[in-house]
Chains A and B, each alone.
Chain A
């Protein structure tokens, strides 16, 4: 399973390619475990992103909270969740966004919740 393409459709795994592709963005988000960094992120988000060398594509994805695009660029959910903690945004909203569904349909049709 190492560096090979994903064998299971629509299921991105943290393989070698994604690890390298997403390293900067993931390192940026990892920093949000520190309260001082969370304050810096809230005060001036573009400046915080620049500290970690994100390119324009990555910055745009983070600034617009395009969760699907962050994952496409190698972002891993466990890092991205630290961004959602700052906002805050529910994990089910992030799931719905990636599935291309509205939140209510996602809860009902994917997770089997009565909504």
Chain B
């Protein structure tokens, strides 16, 4: 049976990808941010995951407001980067793990989660940036296949935090039940605190971010029990996307070990966080 080797959490700020594109990795502004990911990249190299399930949101790049799936699972063979207005980025396409994706859809529906099933879609910085941060940008092909899980965290009503945690629990069972010897990681992405809109734009909350990086490991039930309003108030209008980390956490066992943790503020306008978790 397939095995989950760990859970990864990270911010997915587009400026991170832009900084890499512009060769700013080692500038004083960005170096402390990127250096914090070096131990996580070593962890990924040692663990050699075959499949990455990436929980993220499209930022109105591949999906428009004409149809807004609350949950969607990519079941495609390949995902190309989308043009977000700046032109195409020089990163390889992502190979999909389509067989597992269909197994996941079956398992989700059997457990009362009914996702949209996607066959053709491009992926934006929400998926690209976490992959670049943990794997580094490869010259030709990514050394891991992906299964994108798209979550609507922009058009209200967005799903409840406890629902995302429950989705993660089903995802964990789907991996455990999958007839394969492949090694899986689950990525929860987004956040941490930031707000891009309104007179409160520029809001960040480093104390709450640091507390979140503790609680996501050791008290996830508390975070799953928060209301959406609490997330918006505590982490900002766009920071509420942090609820997507709960899917990653739900896929792991109740007891976890923190292998690596990193926090940096501000990455562009965002409190940027990272965590590497393993089942205890």
Q: A interface vs B, CB < 8 Å?
A: 1-2, 7-16, 19, 23, 26-27, 30, 32-35, 38, 71, 76-79, 81-82, 85-86, 88, 91-92, 94-96, 98-100, 106, 110-113
Cβ of B85 under 8 Å from chain A? yes
- Contact B65–A19 (Cβ < 8 Å): yes
Complex Cα spacing A35 to B197, Å: 26
A12: nearest chain-B partner, CB-CB: B198
Question: Can you spell out 22 A-B residue pairs with CB atoms less than 8 angstroms apart?
Answer: A1-B156, A2-B156, A10-B198, A11-B200, A12-B197, A16-B156, A19-B155, A23-B65, A26-B65, A30-B64, A33-B84, A78-B60, A92-B268, A94-B196, A95-B196, A95-B201, A98-B198, A98-B199, A99-B200, A106-B202, A110-B204, A111-B265
- 6 closest Cβ pairs, A-B complex: A110-B202, A85-B85, A82-B85, A10-B199, A10-B200, A95-B201
Query: How many A-B contacts at CB < 8 Å in the complex?
Result: 116
Name the one of B157, B198, B201, B206 contacting A2, with C-beta atoms under 8 angstroms.
B157
Q: Are A78 and B86 in contact (CB under 8 A)?
A: no
Question: Which of A13, A38, A95 is close to B156, meaning CB atoms less than 8 Å apart?
Answer: A13
Cβ of B237 and Cβ of A13 under 8 Å apart? yes
Could you give, for residues 111-139 of chain B, a 1 whenever the CB lies within 8 Å of some chain A CB and a 0 otherwise? 00000000000000000000000000000
- Cross-chain contact of A76 among B197, B199, B204, B229 (Cβ < 8 A): B197
| B228 cross-chain contacts in A, Cβ below 8 A | 1
In the assembled complex, which residues on chain B have CB atoms less than 8 Å from the CB atom of A23?
65
Q: How far is the CA of A86 from the CA of B266 in the complex (A)?
A: 24
Tell me whether B83 is interfacial, beta carbon within 8 Å: yes
Q: Residues of B contacting A88 with CB < 8 Å?
A: 86
